[in-house]
Amino acid sequence: MDAVVEGSYAYCRKVARTRARNFYYSFVLLSKPQRAAMCAIYAFMRYCDDLSDEPGATRSAIERWRTDLDAALAGRFSGHPVWPAFRDAVERFGIPHRYFHEMIDGVASDLEPRRFETFEQLYRYCYQVASVVGLTVVHIFGFDSPEALPLAEKCGIAFQLTNILRDIREDLERGRLYLPAEDLRRFGVTEDDLRAGNRSAAFLQMMRFETARARSYYDESRPLLDLVYAKSRPSLWALVGIYSGLLERIERQGFDVFSQRVRLSALQKSWIVARALRLTLG
């Protein structure tokens, strides 16, 4: 590996250590090449996400990133330090290029105030910003059966639905509401109720419904654990454990996603990592 690629990987590791609050805990369970690739993919996706979240975000900046992506995949790198490691990881693990364009499509859609009428529309968005992450990561984990791909898609949906329930308050502050309008009407919850942090009986009923929906995707994706290569199973188990743990914590806190951000402590995440090693390898 030449110095440019090594330097790029060092940059990506730093981004992952400082920004990947949940993902990074599972990275430590992988082999060194897999861990490096995960950091490179994460650094790419983190920057994508920042392009839509930072103040003054513009579509032109996202489209420049898309142009830089195509150039990097062809071996031509712009000045951003992520590209040499990113291309090396993509080539090393045979990750389809279309996933990265789909990710950018999803991020670009967040530039406008977000509203979804139906769950079908929300599913498409979740696919673009989360399932493509699962489909990318499963190539790093390694698999033989094509059945792994739809399961990785469902796993990504479960993770994103968890994020949406956790981040209702923060998303509203950015002009975004990801809960489908059909669900709000069904349970009699208004956007004003959400902005006021009104944990009414109707809100709690809706949250139970949304939580059950997210859990169904965790359940449906569970066979993926047996389809990825054995050496990668502890990492996947830990990822699922951390995100499903967030969902459980939302429930245990009475669906209070308004007063403070729901999170797992570093100790809790470390315990999940230790349990992943014990259950999958022991």
pLDDT tens per residue across all 282 residues of the chain:
688 999 999 999 999 989 877 777 788 889 999 999 999 999 999 988 888 776 666 788 888 999 999 999 999 998 899 999 999 999 999 999 999 999 999 888 877 767 899 999 999 999 999 999 999 999 999 999 999 999 999 999 999 999 999 999 999 998 889 999 999 999 999 999 999 999 999 999 999 999 999 999 999 999 999 999 999 999 999 999 999 999 999 999 999 999 989 999 989 998 998 888 876 665
Tell me the two tokens of residue 53: 């979240």
Residues 6+ apart with CB under 8 A from 68: 78, 80, 83
| Residue 42 · residue 115 · CB < 8 Å | no
Whole-number pLDDT of residue 35: 94
Measure CA 20 to chain center.
Answer: 10
Going by C-alpha positions, the residue among 34, 36, 46, 30 that lies closest to residue 13 is 36
Specify the pLDDT at position 9: 95
Which long-range CB contacts under 8 A does 19-26 form with residues at least 24 apart? 19/46, 20/46, 21/263, 22/239, 22/242, 22/243, 22/246, 22/264, 22/269, 23/239, 25/238, 25/242, 25/269, 25/270, 25/272, 25/273, 26/235, 26/236, 26/238, 26/239, 26/242, 26/273, 26/276
The per-residue pLDDT for 61 is: 86
Which residue, 139, 186, 178, is CA-closest to 162? 178
Is the sign of the CA dihedral 102, 104, 106, 108 positive or negative?
Answer: negative
Q: Using CA atoms, how far apart are residues 222 and 177, in angstroms rounded to an integer?
A: 28
What 3-state class would DSSP assign to 279? helix
Closest C-alpha among 32, 22, 15 to residue 80: 15
- pLDDT on residue 113: 67
Lookup result for tokens 């490691």? 85
Give the contacts of 97 (CB within 8 A, at least 6 positions apart). Answer: 73, 90
What integer pLDDT is reported at residue 56 of this predicted model?
A: 61
CA distance 42 to 86: 9
State residue 118's pLDDT score.
97
- pTM score: 0.93
Q: At what angle do helices 83-93 and 132-141 cross, to 10 degrees?
A: 70
The pLDDT of residue 281: 61
How many Å apart are CA 152 and CA 154, to the nearest integer? 5
